[in-house]
Amino acid sequence: MKHLILSIASLIVASFSFCQTEIKLEDVSKHINDSVKVCGKVAGIRFLENSEGQPTFINMGAAYPKQLLTVVIWGIVRSKFEKMPEDLFLDKEICVIGKIELYKEKPQIVIAEPKQITKL
């Protein structure tokens, strides 16, 4: 019985450690280095097929260069999506889970797995 209670308690603690703070898209710059869930409209997507790492940039909140958040998908991760991100997400409302980092003074989240992006 003691082992059962400890197992259940461990599962509860583990589930809370994976919870993300949900923030507004307008507030991303206040959450640098935080792991969050943020939702908003995709304003543009650009795939740089001939660049090193073949990045895809998803701009949320506004078109480049006034985007509130850039979601970065490297080519190796892009290949894991069922369809091209442009087809899946352009002009859609999405939610992104990940750590907000700064790149050239702009907030971004780098995606490691397709499940970090969901459509609303």
Q: Determine, yes or no, domain membership for 1.
A: no
Residue 27: name the closest of 36, 15, 19 by CA: 36
Q: Determine, yes or no, domain membership for 7.
A: no
CATH at residue 38: 2.40.50.140
pTM given for the model? 0.84
Q: Determine, yes or no, domain membership for 12.
A: no
Domains identified in the chain, total number: 1
Omega into 107 within 30° of 0, i.e. cis?
no
Tokens of 62: 């506004």
Domain that holds residue 41: 21-119
Per-residue pLDDT tens digits for 60-87: 999 999 999 999 999 999 999 999 999 9
Q: Determine, yes or no, domain membership for 5.
A: no
Residue 54: name the closest of 35, 73, 29, 30 by CA: 73
| pLDDT at 17 exceeding the cut of 90 | no
